[in-house]
Structure 1
Amino acid sequence: MSVPRREWGIEDMRGQTRGPIFKANRLAGVAIAGLMAGSASAQDATSTELAPIVIQGGSDTATSPVKGYVAKNSSTGSKSDTPLNEIPQSVSVIGTQEMDDRGITNKIDEVLLYTPGVTAQPYGGDGDTDWFYIRGFNATQTGVFFDNLTLFSYGFGGFQLDPFMLERVEVLKGPASVLYGGANPGGIVNLVRKRPLDEPLFYTEIGINNNGNAFTGFDVSDKVGSTGTMSYRITGKVAGGDNYSDFSEDFRGFIMPQLTISPDDSTSFTAWGYLGGLDQVHTGNGFFPYVGTVEDAPFGKIDRDAFYGEPGIDDGSYVQKMIGYEFEHEFDNGIKFSQNLRYGHLDKHEIGPYLNGWAGGAPTGPDYQLARIGFEGRSAVDSFGIDNRLEGEAELGGATHNMLVGLDYKYYRLDHVQKWPTWPTTATPISATDPIYGAIQPTNDVAIDQVVTHKQLGIYAQDQIHFGDGWLLTLNGRYDYVDTDADAIVGTSYTSNDSAVSGRIGLAYEFDNGLTPYVSAATFFNPLIGTGVSGALEPEDGEQFEGGIKYEPTFIDGSVTASVFHITKRNNTVTNPATFAQSQLGEVVSRGAELEGKVNINENWKVLASLAYTDMEVTENEANPALVGNSPYLIPKVTASLWVDYTLTTGAFEGMSFGAGVRHQGWSWADEANTEKVPAATLFDAAIRYDRENWGAALNVTNLFDMEYVKGCGGLTVCGYGDARTVTFKLSRKW
């Protein structure tokens, strides 16, 4: 069989599962019961209760709820609770208030559609995978972290979380190896879970969208006993129903209990567990050909909701489980020890043919047959991570040193079997204009039966030095040892050992008016799984140079970051167009500028805005020199966004809120030869909400004017439409 692009993984197949579906009306019935359960104990209220907007100060920490849209602290760029203006790289933080205002429901990649420097959902919606490109580099498998511990994945062995379980979604732009070891060069996405609260919380919600996909969730937190030393939180959600694509439907859910024990002010221990799953028929989107989506075929364009799989075969599911804990103790001398640990297990299965361009290479009447490839995959993953940190403060030589040292370890084991028909057999073709389902498909033969084990041990140090009445020097260093072993019954067996030293230096000056200019330089490495013509693939490596200004005005609750950057990635894996053999003869450069502002103007107005320019260039490719000077596909050069939210706090319509947003993505290349483009698109979103006496109702509309557009193409046979207009209604209750 001709295997497109590389050894198969999620980059080659997106969204592939289904099974029995609970209908939306059943979900609605369960949710309404939950909403009504607290009515009897609800507090009497005579006026609207609005979340307070705190101007400056407050108790903002790296894990606390974000006040409005403006976060002040983060641990994503430092592994310690650090003010954002003291991190020498650009960091974006999206909190639950922003997620709720914009109507985020099931997907984390939806959260980042307004974030500069991030290309989210590059192929359109994908039910079982959250896709992120940061500063042009794919972070989907090597750039996702959960509470600062990696959610590394390979092939189809990736975990997927629900935004309802998260307090924050944070994006560190640029290399993160000095803190996390091997990671995506463009940056990382750190998912920060909700935690037990000091004050009681009882919340439930129900919602449904215009496709008939409904959801219900609950979030409960309170003290345990009368001593005040223990608190709990239980968060859960169930969702399911039809999706936009023909035949596509899903059922998903999770539950996450937590318990925090704090015997004194200096000690805290939180244990948590998680169980989640998905059962779906995948969407038809993501593998459409360029001709028929961006360009008209002889019959026009393929419908956005078209499904070209096999409804009677397409099937898949995953079940994922996690347990973990966080421990923190501050000694009498001010030194703090922290440790967090997580173990996860994933079982995933998918089966069903997917598209592979036009049969014969071009649309040909009268049936306009599309080629398909059969596929089945099973993946079992065991993932373990632990991070130990010591941090303290010291006065040395007239400067204040905030020092951190740490030791972390990650373990990832993937036992996977992938099957497809033996070449030249693929799968039966299907008509683009009159699809007929039910044809007997050829047998999928075992092509890969392999166990991959990937381990990393790292030791790191950080010193944040405040000196000279406003200067801040940040120094980081890290050493990593990585061991990868692949044991194959069918496929390739190999062993590789790599080590790397990473560093970062940053210099900033904090003016009294809230302005902080900064510069930084950082190196990175990113271990790869797989083999090329020279054996096991070597880690990607390179460096970034970044400069910018961070501004937290003293007269309003806001944050503005402007940055410019230049990233060079070496050991880029390239494919020989004649032999399809992989080698590491490439180099890619990403350079650009980003601007992001978030402001809580007052208790009525909240605003966020962004603008980004990303210029990527292939600077070396010995396997195919014709590509030198070209830009990689998928990544728009220009993106921009604006969201404005207004809440009425007095008068007859007190508690009413209105939100409106606009998102623009510039044109992008559709193929690596840079012969075809995906046009630019500008989309509008809107929201209206009403909160009164602990009840809330929200109506959100994405792609308000139902613009039909192609989100991106990863080659001329791998294009995906952007989502159609989606209307989501939600009813919520607090007591």
Structure 2
Amino acid sequence: MAHDISCGARRTLTALLLGCTALIASPALAQDAGTGTEASPYRLSPILINAEGQFDDDANSIVARELWVGGKVATSILDTPASVSVITEKEVRDRRATTLEEVLSYSSGIHTDYYGTDDRNEYFLVRGFEATTYRDGLTLGSMRSAREEPYAFERTEVIRGGNSTLFGTSDPGGTINFVTKQPRFERFGEVYGSVGSPRNAEYGFDAGDVLNAEGTLAYRLTAKVQDGERDYDHSRNDSRFLMGGLSWQPGTATTLSVVADYLKRENTPNSGGYPLDRKYDRSDFFGEPDFNYQNVERASITGLLEHDFDNGLNLRANLRYSDLKSDFGYVYLSDSPARVGTVVDRWYFGGDNTAEELIGNVILQYDRSFDRFDSSTVAGLEFRDASTSSAPFYGLYTPIDIANPVYSGAPGTLAAPYELRDNDYKTKSLFVQQNLSFDDRFIATVGLRHDWLDIRETLNGVQTSDDFSETSIRGALTYKVNSEISTYVSYVESVAPPGVGVEPERGEQYELGVKYQPLGTNALISASVYDLTKNNVTVAVVQPDGNITRELVGEQRVRGFDLEGKAELGGNVDVIASYSYMKSDVVRSGPIRGVDVEGNEFGNVPNHMASLWVNYTLPGDQTRGDMRFGLGARYVGSYFFAISNNTGKAESSVTLDAAFNYQVQENTNLALNISNLLDDQHVVGSGTADYYNPGRAVAVTLRHSW
């Protein structure tokens, strides 16, 4: 809302939008100058091609032209009837994004890190709703307890808006797909070391080569070790990651890859929050040093098979087994605006969790060209067998004097778990998608999927079960104005993963969009307007006694606009720009904790967001190497902390980031990255305590590649 944006924030937002305008204008001017022309008629066939990221140079470009997502959608981003972002390995490295929240922070329509120093999970909303995460097209599902390691991936792909037709039961906000680094049939590698503040040291390498003289067998080994701290005292941020892959390619038509990985994190999950009465130093700690832990251990093995029958028929099959164990515990403040004095109540909270999952799919694709149209048919089946267990506990703990903190030590006796929950999930799915391209101009897309879900739950010794049979559809029409511009209109449905005795949350989205990929310039600009609705919504509500219950909201809707552009201009300027507008609305709901929320906006959903990142490279000469300067700005508008709209609002904010890279010698670079350059501090989340945005972080990285 306009009155929520200060004059300074308005000026910043205006500058960011002008940056977006300049990004759109520059390729057009370049083309007018003769750098790119439409040389000849083009052909859309095949609409779907077999790709796993090889067509894009993710390590050396910020602009992606192809999409993978497990082979379930059109690989050409220009032909994909959806709002799409691809964050390449180069962009992640340039910005030094070490968490998923940081990876997504410059993408349109995505609000990240709105719980600040609560680091138990990765927090992000896409178009106002949660989004489901995938790895190589297979849902991570019960593996969400582990914060992902970005160094494991070639790219991160975002498709905005839920789409159960392609991905099964999923949240309506969108799809986040991680593309795993796989072996390549060439010798390559890198090794790096990084130190920084808050205290952090990390080391990693990523290397591979061909193993035999015939060139049919290749390997890749990736590893990272981190020893660090967070903004607050008594913190810990340590991790170990190891991944190995082996690929066999007996001929050009067949590739079989096996990738195994292991992730271990030993962290502090939470600062305990900060009192509500004023701004405190980020280093302050009001939890318990002896009771602040989070341990996560996950192992996975994945098999990926692709075979081209050389007659228009292609087969893909993927299979993954994962095992996860995690536990956590911390003490947090339970403050109130009505508090008198300096003594604040505290509670402790924790739990033990396990998950085991086997998931796989088989996808057949058949492409054929006719006189006036091309056809591409994708059909497949998927299955998932997962089991989880959880034993959360909480209890009242000793208060603390925030004017003179004295720690009490770990709780002597923990309360018994307030619930013992075991769940088993079995899912079987069939899906089909048909694409038809007419006269090199129109692409019609129709999709249909049916999921059978069987859920069994044991809660505190009582066994219950439920089964669901859900159908979802997808339809879209793309019009190719010319070889550079495409427009589309689409309708998609989503069905969120249900629980025993709870109706699945269902979503539907209408979207209209346009994409521009100028010839002669490595750039992609997209804009979309959408109407996204979610029904049968339930929300988690913390009751006065500290217990958490699910309460029915009913229907929620977000209407908005997304604009995003990425371009590499003139060989030495990279630009990433985005703007989004979202108007969220609770359409139908019963009272939440006695408060009428109909007509309210969602919690943690700003009306306006914008970002701009610019890299400028100064070429080297005989006396020095290349120098690259990077500067970024992230604007987040004001938003309510809760759906009740009565617990306060976050102020609009602008956060600056900077980077400098110097080529020490060929294939060796020294980089300096600073996030939150001005160390801006503001409240991003508030409940029984305030939570601040991450403070300034500085990292110096030396990297050598071959």
Would you say same fold, with TM above 0.5? yes
- How far apart in 1 are the matches of 2:234 and 2:576? 37
1:262 alignment counterpart: 249
Q: Which runs of 5+ in 1 are unaligned?
A: 1-53, 531-535
- How far apart in 1 are the matches of 2:105 and 2:219? 32
1:590 alignment counterpart: 558
Q: Which SS does the other structure have where 1:635 is aligned? A: coil
Query: How many Å apart are 1:455 and its aligned residue?
Result: 2.1
- Correspondent of 1:164 among 121, 135, 151: 151
Q: Which SS does the other structure have where 2:340 is aligned? A: coil
Q: Which SS does the other structure have where 1:110 is aligned? A: helix
Is 1:690 aligned to residue 677 of structure 2?
no
Contact 1:663 1:683 in 2 (8 A): yes
Q: Which SS does the other structure have where 2:169 is aligned? A: coil
Q: Which runs of 5+ in 2 are unaligned?
A: 1-35, 43-48
- How far apart in 1 are the matches of 2:581 and 2:669? 38
Q: CA RMSD in A?
A: 2.4
Task: Write out per-residue CA displacement over residues 603-646 of structure 1, whole angstroms, 9 at most, x where no aligned residue.
Answer: 21111100001111000003457210001111111110000001
Is 1:63 aligned to residue 37 of structure 2?
no
Q: Structure 1 577/385 Cα, relative in aligned 2: closer, same or farther at 3 Å?
A: closer
- How far apart in 2 are the matches of 1:678 and 1:704? 20
1:49 alignment counterpart: none
- Correspondent of 2:101 among 109, 115, 139: 109
- Correspondent of 2:287 among 306, 309, 312: 309
- How far apart in 1 are the matches of 2:173 and 2:291? 38
- How far apart in 2 are the matches of 1:119 and 1:193? 24
Contact 1:418 1:448 in 2 (8 A): yes
Query: How many Å apart are 1:718 and its aligned residue?
Result: 5.2
- How far apart in 2 are the matches of 1:541 and 1:288? 37
* Amino acid across the alignment from 1:706: D
Query: How many Å apart are 1:517 and its aligned residue?
Result: 1.0
Q: Structure 1 575/115 Cα, relative in aligned 2: closer, same or farther at 3 Å?
A: closer
* Amino acid across the alignment from 1:119: H
Q: Structure 1 589/77 Cα, relative in aligned 2: closer, same or farther at 3 Å?
A: farther
2:24 alignment counterpart: none
Query: How many Å apart are 1:672 and its aligned residue?
Result: 2.2
Contact 1:204 1:733 in 2 (8 A): yes
1:362 alignment counterpart: 338
* Amino acid across the alignment from 1:330: D
- How far apart in 2 are the matches of 1:704 and 1:272? 38
- Correspondent of 1:145 among 134, 144, 160: 134
* Amino acid across the alignment from 1:733: H
- Correspondent of 2:122 among 115, 127, 130: 130
Contact 2:335 2:345 in 1 (8 A): yes
For 1:239-254, what aligned pairs fall within 5 Å after superposition?
Answer: 239-254=226-241
Contact 1:169 1:190 in 2 (8 A): yes
Query: How many Å apart are 1:575 and its aligned residue?
Result: 7.1
Query: How many Å apart are 1:397 and its aligned residue?
Result: 7.3
Contact 1:356 1:373 in 2 (8 A): yes
- How far apart in 2 are the matches of 1:672 and 1:288? 21
Contact 1:567 1:590 in 2 (8 A): yes
Is 1:622 aligned to residue 590 of structure 2?
yes
| Percent of pairs with identical residues | 30
Q: Which SS does the other structure have where 1:137 is aligned? A: coil
- How far apart in 2 are the matches of 1:670 and 1:272? 41
For 1:138-287, what aligned pairs fall within 5 Å after superposition?
Answer: 138-139=130-131, 143-153=132-142, 158-284=145-271, 287=273
Instruction: With the length of structure 2 as denominator, give the TM-score of the two structures.
Output: 0.88
2:356 alignment counterpart: 382
Query: How many Å apart are 1:600 and its aligned residue?
Result: 1.1
Is 1:704 aligned to residue 677 of structure 2?
yes
The size of the alignment, in residue pairs, is 650
Is 1:638 aligned to residue 608 of structure 2?
yes
- How far apart in 2 are the matches of 1:167 and 1:525? 29
2:390 alignment counterpart: 416
Comparing 61-70 and 467-476, the one that deviates more: 61-70
* Amino acid across the alignment from 2:531: H
Q: Structure 1 645/389 Cα, relative in aligned 2: closer, same or farther at 3 Å?
A: same
- How far apart in 1 are the matches of 2:410 and 2:315? 61
1:19 alignment counterpart: none
1:669 alignment counterpart: 640
1:336 alignment counterpart: 314
- How far apart in 2 are the matches of 1:218 and 1:439? 39
Query: How many Å apart are 1:225 and its aligned residue?
Result: 1.2
Q: Structure 1 284/394 Cα, relative in aligned 2: closer, same or farther at 3 Å?
A: same
* Amino acid across the alignment from 1:249: R
1:520 alignment counterpart: 490
Contact 2:673 2:700 in 1 (8 A): yes
Contact 2:302 2:318 in 1 (8 A): yes
- How far apart in 2 are the matches of 1:96 and 1:613? 27
Q: Structure 1 116/593 Cα, relative in aligned 2: closer, same or farther at 3 Å?
A: same
Is 1:86 aligned to residue 54 of structure 2?
no
* Amino acid across the alignment from 1:113: S
- How far apart in 2 are the matches of 1:458 and 1:688? 48
- How far apart in 1 are the matches of 2:117 and 2:588? 32
- How far apart in 1 are the matches of 2:660 and 2:37? 25
- How far apart in 2 are the matches of 1:70 and 1:133? 23
* Amino acid across the alignment from 1:604: N
- Correspondent of 1:401 among 375, 378, 383: 375
Contact 2:112 2:123 in 1 (8 A): yes
Query: How many Å apart are 1:433 and its aligned residue?
Result: 2.6
* Amino acid across the alignment from 1:315: Y
Contact 2:70 2:136 in 1 (8 A): no
- Correspondent of 1:563 among 528, 534, 557: 528
Instruction: With the length of structure 1 as denominator, give the TM-score of the two structures.
Output: 0.85
Q: Structure 1 585/251 Cα, relative in aligned 2: closer, same or farther at 3 Å?
A: closer
1:572 alignment counterpart: 537
Is 1:480 aligned to residue 451 of structure 2?
yes
Contact 2:130 2:174 in 1 (8 A): no
Comparing 651-660 and 555-564, the one that deviates more: 651-660
Query: How many Å apart are 1:547 and its aligned residue?
Result: 0.3
